[in-house]
Structure 1
């Protein structure tokens, strides 16, 4: 019975920990890919800012 309770407590503690790690990895990979996607588009962001500042 004590072994069953130990396993239950371990599972209750580890489920949120593992979920937090997985969500952190997803968030981190998203940030990394956002950095990579912005590398080749520096000239486009300057063009957009020039276009938006031009009077109509």
Structure 2
């Protein structure tokens, strides 16, 4: 049975570990270009989610 509790199985130690491992993952990424790409992607229709108006 699926739990409706979004915190079921939450492990703060694993979360902290994952955050430490991801540190620097975007190093070297052009932040302005990334934001522009995200903006363009949000303008496209996708299954279950219409484009932003």
TM-score normalised by the chain length of structure 2: 0.30
Structure with greater helix percent: 1
Rg comparison, structure with higher value: 1
